[in-house]
Amino acid sequence: MTQSIEILSLILTGLLAGVYLGGALSDARISDLSAQAFTETHQARDVVMRRAMPPFVLATMACVAGSALLAPETRVGRLAVVALLVLDTLVAVRLQIPINRRIATWRPGNPPDDWARWRDRWRVGHLVRTMFGLGGFTSLTLLSLWMIMS
């Protein structure tokens, strides 16, 4: 049971980091998009992400927390990963979700004059979340390797 939860935790954190990294890579040239293209792209992506990400992040957090309870030798490291996931969630709730809601109200052909400011704020938040996700996955991978090698 313990090993299964540890493996599932690693898989979920890897998938989460991959989602974030994929978003960051696809947004690398987001400032090249017109206001209309950005709005259409963001609104379409948000329809999927607003449904998929909350349960995915919560399941990942629960799995990593469960593995911390079952693996006392790596508990502190696993709880640090949970802390990164909590920080990720705070950035989402305090910054990105309010921006997503704002962008959802825009008409693609006529966004507000300050649309680029909101795009840039959202992108910074996403990059922060990407760092939290990659940090969690990297930490959990290193913990797993340490357990295998000990």
93-149 residue pLDDT tens: 999 999 999 999 999 999 999 999 999 999 999 999 999 999 999 999 999 899 888
pLDDT of residue 53: 96
H or E element in which residue 46 lies: helix 35-70
Decide if pLDDT at 90 tops 80.
yes
- In percent, the amount of the chain with pLDDT more than 90 equals 90
- Domain range annotation of the chain: 2-149
If DSSP codes are grouped into helix, strand and coil, which group holds residue 107? strand
- Choose among 119, 99, 101: nearest CA to 33: 119
pLDDT of residue 43: 97
Whole-structure pTM over 0.75, yes or no? yes
- Choose among 51, 45, 52: nearest CA to 15: 52
**CB atoms < 10 A from the CB of 98, how many?**
15
Phi and psi, residue 63, nearest 5°: -65, -45
